[in-house]
C-alpha cells in the first residue's frame, strides 16, 4: 500500500517537472545545473583571470570580498552569511541582497550570534540541494561551530567556511580574540582543507579550490591586517592550487628552507632576500594548505622539500604542532606556544618573534647547529 502511494506521488512529481521543463526550458536547465553541482564555466574563467593579475596590498579578508565580487553574480547558487560580523568578515559581494521572509531570493543571511546554528544550517542548505552555502565568523569563534564543521567533513559536504582575524596579528582586540590554537585544531579534522593564504592571488586560488570541491569542506583563515602581494611567475601562480609551492629562491641546492603561511610568507621572503646578500641561499615555501600539499605526488613534494633535508624552518603565528612532520627532527619552528597579548598587531608580532631579524637569527642558528 505504501509503495503504491509513493509511486502515485512520484508520478505526479515527474509530470509536474516535465511540464515545467517544457514551459520554462531556460529555468529548468539552470535548476538541473545546480542540482548536478556543475560550476558555470564563466566563474572559473573569471577566477583564473583574476589570479593572473597583480594586486595592491590588502588584508586577505578584503581580498576574499573582492574575489567574491568578481564571480559572485555569475554563481547564483552561492548563498551564506555571517554570525553577526558582516562588516568585519567582509563575506559578501557588491549588491548582494539580504535573505528575509519578504525577500526569499536574497543571498546574504544575517545569522546573528549563532556560530553553531549558522554552520549546521549551512549543512542543511547543501543537503537540500541546488545551493552552495558559505558561513563566516572570526577564526577564534570557529570553536563554537566545531561540531557542525566536523559533520560537514564527516558527511563530505563542501561547505565554505570563511574565518577572518586569523592570528595574533589582529592586535588590539587582545588574546581573547587572537586565534592561536585554532589552525592546528581545524587541521586535525579529517576531510577538511584549511587554507591560510598569503595574499590576494592565493586567496583567489583558495576560492577556486573551494568552489571546485565536491565533497571536502574548506576553511579559510584570513587576515585583518594588510599583507603585501608577493611577486610570482605564471608557474608559481599555477602551483598555488597544489597547496604548497616555491615562492622564492632559485637555487637547486639551498642552504635552508623556510615554510610559511599567511602573513608570515612576506616577512620570510624579506628575510631570505637579506640573507642572500650575505651569501646564504634560502628557499621559501608558501604552504597555504597543508592538506592539499600532502595529497601531491612524492616527486612534486621532493622538488619543494627534498628528502632528508635538515635545515628547515617553519614559521606560523599559531601553535606549531602541525609543522613537526615537515621540519623533521633537525628542523626548527617560529610559532606560538602561548596566548597572545594586547597591543598593535605589529608590536605583538615582533614580540613573539615574527620579524625579519628573528627569522635571520633562527636560520643562522639552524645552519650552524646542523653543520
* Chain segment 59-86, per-residue pLDDT in tens: 999 999 999 999 999 999 999 999 999 9
| 5 pLDDT more than 90 | no
At 345 the pLDDT is: 95
CATH number of the domain within which 105 lies: 3.40.50.970
180 and 133 part of one domain: yes
pLDDT band at 3 (very low <50, low <70, confident <90, very high): confident
pLDDT tens digit sequence for 270-313: 999 999 999 999 999 999 999 999 999 999 999 999 999 999 99
Return the percentage of the chain with pLDDT > 90, whole number.
96
* φ/ψ (deg, to 5) at 88: -95, -40
H helix runs in the chain, sequence order: 2-23, 25-35, 41-51, 60-71, 86-89, 115-128, 142-154, 182-187, 200-212, 234-239, 263-277, 290-294, 298-304, 324-327, 345-351, 356-369
At 9 the pLDDT is: 93
171 and 279 part of one domain: no
50 and 191 part of one domain: yes
Element (H, E) at 243: none
Which residue range(s) make up the domain with 101?
A: 34-222
338 and 301 part of one domain: yes
At 297 the pLDDT is: 98
Examine the fold and report which residue of 159, 187, 222 is the final residue of a domain before the chain moves on. Answer: 222
109 and 249 part of one domain: no
At 185 the pLDDT is: 97
State the DSSP code for 104: T
196 and 324 part of one domain: no
329 and 365 part of one domain: yes
270 and 211 part of one domain: no
**Number of folded domains that form the chain:** 2
42 and 119 part of one domain: yes
At 4 the pLDDT is: 84
State the DSSP code for 171: -
| 1 pLDDT more than 70 | no
126 and 208 part of one domain: yes
Examine the fold and report which residue of 222, 255, 288 is the final residue of a domain before the chain moves on. Answer: 222
Which residues are known catalytic residues? 115
Amino acid at each position: 500500500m505504501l509503495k503504491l502511494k509513493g509511486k502515485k506521488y512520484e508520478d505526479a512529481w515527474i509530470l509536474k517537472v516535465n511540464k515545467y521543463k517544457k514551459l520554462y526550458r531556460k529555468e529548468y536547465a539552470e535548476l538541473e545545473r545546480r542540482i548536478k553541482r556543475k560550476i558555470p564555466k564563466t566563474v572559473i574563467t573569471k577566477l583564473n583571470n583574476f589570479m593572473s593579475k597583480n594586486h595592491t596590498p590588502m588584508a586577505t579578508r578584503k581580498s576574499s570580498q573582492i574575489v567574491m565580487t568578481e564571480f559572485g553574480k555569475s554563481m547564483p547558487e552561492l548563498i551564506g552569511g555571517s554570525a553577526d560580523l558582516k562588516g568585519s568578515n567582509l563575506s559578501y559581494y557588491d549588491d548582494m541582497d539580504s535573505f528575509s521572509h519578504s525577500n526569499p531570493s536574497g543571498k546574504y543571511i544575517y545569522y546573528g550570534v549563532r556560530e553553531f546554528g549558522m554552520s549546521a544550517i549551512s549543512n542543511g542548505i547543501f543537503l537540500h540541494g541546488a545551493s552552495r552555502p558559505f558561513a563566516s565568523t572570526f577564526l577564534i569563534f570557529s570553536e563554537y561551530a566545531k561540531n557542525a564543521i566536523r559533520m560537514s567533513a564527516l558527511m563530505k559536504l563542501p561547505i565554505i567556511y570563511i574565518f577572518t582575524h586569523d592570528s595574533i596579528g589582529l592586535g588590539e582586540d587582545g588574546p581573547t580574540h587572537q586565534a592561536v590554537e585554532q589552525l592546528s585544531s581545524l587541521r586535525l579534522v579529517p576531510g577538511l582543507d584549511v587554507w591560510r593564504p598569503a595574499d590576494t592571488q592565493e586567496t583567489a586560488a583558495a576560492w577556486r579550490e573551494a568552489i571546485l570541491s565536491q565533497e571536502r569542506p574548506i576553511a579559510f583563515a584570513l587576515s585583518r591586517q594588510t599583507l603585501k602581494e608577493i611577486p610570482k611567475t605564471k608557474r608559481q601562480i599555477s602551483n598555488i592550487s597544489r597547496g604548497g609551492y616555491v615562492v622564492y629562491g632559485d637555487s637547486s641546492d639551498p642552504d635552508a628552507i623556510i615554510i610559511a603561511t599567511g602573513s608570515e610568507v612576506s616577512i620570510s621572503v624579506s628575510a631570505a632576500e637579506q640573507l642572500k646578500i650575505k651569501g646564504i641561499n634560502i628557499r621559501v615555501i608558501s604552504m597555504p594548505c597543508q592538506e592539499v600539499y600532502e595529497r601531491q605526488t612524492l616527486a612534486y613534494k621532493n622538488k619543494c622539500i627534498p628528502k632528508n633535508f635538515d635545515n628547515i624552518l617553519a614559521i606560523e603565528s599559531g601553535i606549531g604542532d602541525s609543522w613537526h612532520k615537515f621540519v623533521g627532527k633537525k628542523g626548527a619552528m617560529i610559532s606560538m606556544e602561548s596566548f597572545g597579548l594586547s597591543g598593535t598587531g605589529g608590536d605583538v608580532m615582533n614580540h613573539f618573534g615574527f620579524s625579519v631579524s628573528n627569522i635571520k637569527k633562527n636560520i643562522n642558528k639552524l645552519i650552524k647547529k646542523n653543520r
